[in-house]
Amino acid sequence: MLRQGLLGLSRSSQVRAVIEKAPVSRDVVRRFVAGETTADAVRATTELRESDRLATIDFLGEDTLDVAQARATTDAYLELLAALADQRLSLDGAAEVSVKLSAIGQALPGDGDKIALDHAREICQAARNAGTTVTLDMEDHTTTDATLETLRELRQDFPWVGAVLQAYLRRTEADCRDLATAGSRVRLCKGAYKEPESVAFQDSVEVASSYVRCAKVLLEGDGYPMLATHDPHLIEIGTALAAKELRAPSTFEFQMLYGIRPHEQERLAADGQQVRVYVPYGDQWYGYLMRRMAERPANTMFFLRAVATK
Ligand code: FDA
């Protein structure tokens, strides 16, 4: 109930306006968001490097209905990629970027898909110049087909572009089969949006079972699986499945979110696994933060306590 409520609120512009102005917000946000500027993202990436963790960096923003905003977000990615190259952080894909197509134009009426594709091409070209890769985040199910079509188009010129698949969607096992091919990079996560039963498993056990089936398809295939989860059970199963397929650590990776289970991130990295941390930055943190709260009631309590004691 709480999860569904918070996910509903994550798309409310009125609640967003109130929360963003709350005096406490900044401290709470800092737990999950690296900061507001390119320099903050570079700093967080450098810190992760010190403990052998890779990064995928997200300039926060989503559901943009303003062409100028979509352009500004694209420019922020170009600036970020130049800064990563400058600091030699992007070499060999050590720090890459994650992009939400709705932040760069997909949600615009009319030719949104084309605008997002053009912007994504620019970001991919900048990533190529910086020696790194791009992964397309996956948003709610109404955008899945369009995002996979954009992925297909981008991969014609930039074959290393990756995408996210969400285990809670009933369609995802089939999508994994389609994408478990040589050169294909797939990040598998549980899924973070409010979705109807007609398209998504609602029960956490069913979502976890789907995750295992999908991970098996990806790890048995020829692509590069990126297992994005903090779930200890799924990390254990992912490790066992990879060992069964005789996959070397360089042929797949684990991924987690900035600020969530950092000790587990360090433990896996120290154990010789590749670990990549999703680092969000920027001032459009509202939707991202609400999804993190929906995942864990304790985060909501942390937030409410911070408001109450301010
Ligand atoms: P689960 O939510 O069951 O958590 C397992 C354990 O991890 C919890 O018991 C707790 O210990 C810890 N934990 C999890 N979430 C926490 C939180 N918010 N705060 C504190 N502790 C927490 N989704 C999507 O729809 N589209 C996308 O593109 C992406 N991209 C993405 C990239 C990466 C790198 C990751 C790790 C995740 C995503 N997600 C995503 C989010 C994903 O779908 C999912 O909502 C979260 O990862 C939480 O699911 P878990 O698999 O971690 O399991």
Is residue 308 assigned to a domain?
Answer: no
User: Among the residues of 221-285, which ranges form H helices?
Assistant: 232-244, 262-270
Is residue 142 assigned to a domain?
Answer: yes
Is residue 310 assigned to a domain?
Answer: no
Instruction: Provide the b/e sequence for 227-258 (b: ≥16 CB within 10 Å).
Output: bbbbbeebbebbbebbeeeeeeeeebbbbbbb
pLDDT band at 267 (very low <50, low <70, confident <90, very high): very high
Q: What are phi and psi of 5, to 5 degrees?
A: -65, -45
Is residue 15 assigned to a domain?
Answer: no
Q: For the CA atoms of the chain, what is the radius of gyration?
A: 18
Say which of 58, 113, 137, 175 is annotated catalytic. 137
Q: For position 112, what pLDDT does the model report? A: 97
pLDDT at residue 4 greater than cutoff 70: yes
Q: For position 16, what pLDDT does the model report? A: 75
- The answer to whether the annotation marks 290 as part of a ligand binding site is no
192 lines ligand 1 (CB under 6 A): yes
- The answer to whether the annotation marks 170 as part of a ligand binding site is no
Q: For position 296, what pLDDT does the model report? A: 83
Q: What is the DSSP string of 204-235?
A: HHHHHHHHHHHHHHHHHSSSEEEEE---HHHH
Model confidence pLDDT, tens digit, residues 101-126 = 999 999 999 999 999 999 999 999 99
Side chain identity at 205, as an amino acid letter? V
CATH code of 263's domain: 3.20.20.220
261 lines ligand 1 (CB under 6 A): yes
Predicted structure pTM score:
0.94
pLDDT at residue 310 greater than cutoff 60: no
Model confidence pLDDT, tens digit, residues 230-260 = 999 999 999 999 999 999 999 999 999 999 9
Active site residue 137: yes
Domain extent for 259: 33-284
Is 245 or 308 the better-scoring residue by pLDDT? Answer: 245
Model confidence pLDDT, tens digit, residues 291-307 = 898 888 777 777 766 65
Q: What are phi and psi of 52, to 5 degrees?
A: 60, 25
CA–centroid distance, 90 to ligand 1, in Å, is 24
Domain count for the chain:
1
Name the least confident of 26-35, 50-59, 176-185.
26-35
Is residue 10 assigned to a domain?
Answer: no
Q: For position 293, what pLDDT does the model report? A: 85
Is residue 293 assigned to a domain?
Answer: no
Is residue 295 assigned to a domain?
Answer: no
Is residue 165 assigned to a domain?
Answer: yes
Strand partners, 279: 57
Over residues 52-72, mean pLDDT:
96
Is 162 or 19 the better-scoring residue by pLDDT? Answer: 162
Atom of ligand 1 nearest to the CA of 100: 28
Q: For position 12, what pLDDT does the model report? A: 77
Residue ID of nearest Cα to ligand 1 atom 9: 231
